Amino acid sequence: MRIWLLARVHLGTVAVLFVLTLSACLLVAGLPRAMQASYDEALRRSLTAAPAVQADLTVAVESGSREEDLRERAQFDSRARLWREIVPAELRPLTTAPGHMNAKTTLTPMTGTGGQTYLNLGWLSDADRRVDWVQGRAPGAPNTMRYEGETIPVFEAGIVEEAQREMDLKVGQTKIVGENDYAAVKIVGVFRAKDPGDRYWSHNSDILHVTKLQPPGGLDFEKHTTALISDAGLTALSGEGRHLTYRWILPLDTGAVGALAAPGLQAAVTEFDRVVGLQSTSTASPYHVETGLPNLLDGFLTGLFTAQTVMYLVLGGLLAVALGVIVLAVQLLADRLDHPLTLARARGGSLGQVAGAAAALTGLAVVPGAAAGYALSYLVPGPVLPIVHAGPVIVVLVAVGFAAVRLALLHRTPLHSRRDDVAAGRASAKRITLEVLVVVLALAGAYLLRARGLSASAGQDPFLLVVPVALTVAAALVTLRCYPYPLRLLVRLASRGRAAVPFLGLTRAARARSASVLPVLILLPALAVSVFAAVVGDGISGTQRLASWQQVGAPIRMTSEIEIPADALERVRGTAGVEQVVLAQTGRVQVGYAAERAEAIAVDVAQWRSLLGDAPIDLPALSDGGALVSPELRGRGTLEIGWQARLKLATRGVISSVPGFYTQGKFMVVPLSVQIRPAVNTLLIKGDASVSELARLVPSATVESQEGALRAIQDDPLTSTVRWTLVVVTGALAAYALIAVVLSLVIGSSERARAVSFLRTLGLSERQAQRLTVLEILPMILLTALVGLGLGLGLPSALGPGVDLSSYAGDLPVGDYSLDPFLPSALAAGLAAVAVLGAYAHTVISRRRSLGAVLRVGDLS
């Protein structure tokens, strides 16, 4: 059979099939690549944003005796080489960067301070490249001295500038440390980090800063710092009399991490810890791995699994709808081939030749389209996943297979004949039972998913992926079975009228056979998934806005660790764009007379409420002399707190959180007027002033804006991927829905035109023919649209706890799935408009036919 001739004759249909295949393969192959690239970027950002001490791998061991001490750098180097040799293969590409080693003591009290000041000793393998000495000199070799009748080691050490200020240490001083096993520390220099912002210092923050800790039950803070010693100091540093830990840090190359490898990395870290432990020479202090990488990966994978679940749902629906539209186009092509293939069968053509010709012609359209879409997908950045290769193959196989099977079944016998003008027969009991079973299982699955939530096992929950598909199939079956009944009621009402068009149009719609309405049911999953995507996207957007307000608590918030001067306040008030400024003071207050502490903010709540305006957050009113307290402080009646002075405040209400400040623990909100002299360190600002300008006016303050917090939430790679994918899928499905309506109109155009032509011979006018066509096709389209919209609106609630989108909304649960009515109205109006335009187009085409020719063709059938 001459395939090229058939392709030239049916060039329009072949071109439509080519374009549909190209777009479907581009979406199916390109979207997963873009999504995976964003997943990789999200993981890299997550690991980069985390402190290096959590993301990196650290091998540590405690020394408890002189036999376990490491006295030379060479001993550290040999173990460093060993750790890199035994790193699992999954981690090896990520640990290629050079690391460093350190030795530190902890909880080394300064003698005579009553346990309030701790001066630890620390050695860094690369201190010469990390610090600059701004006073004195670098430490040298240790020596000894006599103290309380004993000879003790004297370590030469350097301290950071912050320790010099906070702990009143000076160059030249010698401090005794320890409680029984004494040692002396001679301060010989003061250093400053060359790059304080380097991730390196995350592992050594105790050397770079003074740590203040409040012991349980204590009112005063302990101060801890670590002084830097030289390589030579290792010879005298022992774990026999103090807490000494050796560490080897293997930095993680966050730029080489991929989301696909994340689950394997968790197992690799566990294996590395096991292998490292086998190298231990002492059971009392074995080698072990210190890292927060598994926890970081757990948090990322939690958000990733949710993102993948949503993506699987919408992309699965997109693929199903795309395949359905392609099948419609193949059906249109098959209808065009019906007459020549019937002649071929009548002249002795075999069934294989007929099926082969249909498959070849379909392949001539879909194979180049699939290849073009597959090639264009490589323009999308991202890793190549199996679906990138499998998606176009599936599209081609479905299209070619449907064409071959459909025409093979249609032309089983030569000169086949069929009647399209009668109602379909009743379905068998088995079929009805099967359909009822599908509906019951779908409803039961939705109920169980809400009742049991997600599976506790890691990875995707198959139950979550099956339930939406089952609900869609159930809705389609119910629609197919039930739509004729309301139409028949309308037919009865129309039969009582004098006009023939409503009766004829509704009758033809009610008697449409299942095979003829199935193409239109592609609209159901298309609308359901697109509305689901729109609902989820709208819910995420609303919750993101709420989260940004809860994070900041005002349009702009300025916080400072010290009091903001009065002249700075006036400059802020005079800044362009500032409309209102609310003063506040934050601090940690003593509750009662014991060691109990609570966070507090003193503010004029009425002014704060006025500043918020129509923001999605609110605060309860607060009268003077009272306080709003957290749930942990409820039920105490009048509270007495220590803050500048002793204050007695009656509890006026319980508040679960203070937007922009406190979300858990013990906290309270008090009126600013209760302070004798408010030490304002926080400003709540309304307006569109420049954040950078405000930060310049008050250098000691940190300035945050609600808009900046919202952008930070929205710019997260996972969040932005979910949102733009939902937008793309919504647009694609809307387009596919409209194409499905057009194709369904074109597929039935010949039969519809023949029927209209017959009626035209009986006196039917052109205007009546147009109304007849609209009444025939519009009921099914509108009913399917309503069911699809209802299913899409109900899917988020039906899935319930199975889709936790808090990772994309500032860690707030997304529960308000409200939808702007514009989208369903636009979709319904668009579909109705296409249907009406299609009806007019068909009547125009039918008008061009010769009625005599139609009658003769009808006589032959």
Measured between alpha carbons, how far is 398 from 319 in angstroms, rounded to an integer?
Answer: 12
Measured between alpha carbons, how far is 156 from 714 in angstroms, rounded to an integer?
Answer: 51
Give me the numbers of helices (H) and strands (E) for the chain, helices first please: 26, 21
At 1 the pLDDT is: 55
158 φ, ψ to 5°?
A: -120, 150
Average the pLDDT over 688-713 and give the result: 90
Which residues make beta-bridge pairs with 154?
Answer: 143, 184
Strands 626-629 and 645-654: parallel
Give the distance from CA 466 to its chain's centroid: 21
DSSP 8-state secondary structure symbol assigned to residue 109 = B
Per-residue b or e along 627-652, where b marks 16 or more CB atoms closer than 10 Å to that residue's CB: bbbbeebeeeeebebebeeebebebb
Question: Average pLDDT, whole number, for the chain?
Answer: 83
Cβ neighbours of 599 (radius 10 Å): 17
- Stretch among 63-67, 75-79, 106-110, 524-528 having the lowest mean pLDDT: 524-528
The predicted-structure confidence for 812-851, as pLDDT tens digits, reads as follows 777 666 666 676 667 667 766 776 676 666 666 655 555 5
Measured between alpha carbons, how far is 446 from 795 in angstroms, rounded to an integer?
Answer: 9
At 820 the pLDDT is: 65
Per-residue b or e along 388-412, where b marks 16 or more CB atoms closer than 10 Å to that residue's CB: beebbebbbebbbebbbebbbebbe
The predicted-structure confidence for 177-201, as pLDDT tens digits, reads as follows 988 889 999 999 999 999 998 999 9
At 165 the pLDDT is: 87
Measured between alpha carbons, how far is 236 from 328 in angstroms, rounded to an integer?
Answer: 83
Asked whether the predicted pLDDT for residue 421 surpasses 70, the reply is no
Domain positions in the chain: 1-29+304-416, 57-290, 428-482, 483-550+710-861, 562-699
Q: Residue 642: CB partners within 8 Å, gap ≥ 6? A: 589, 590, 593
The predicted-structure confidence for 341-362, as pLDDT tens digits, reads as follows 777 777 767 777 777 888 888 8
Asked whether the predicted pLDDT for residue 28 surpasses 60, the reply is yes
Which residues make beta-bridge pairs with 581?
Answer: 685
DSSP 8-state secondary structure symbol assigned to residue 423 = P
Measured between alpha carbons, how far is 483 from 39 in angstroms, rounded to an integer?
Answer: 43
Measured between alpha carbons, how far is 581 from 698 in angstroms, rounded to an integer?
Answer: 14
Asked whether the predicted pLDDT for residue 92 surpasses 60, the reply is yes
Q: Are 438 and 484 in contact (CB under 8 A)?
A: no
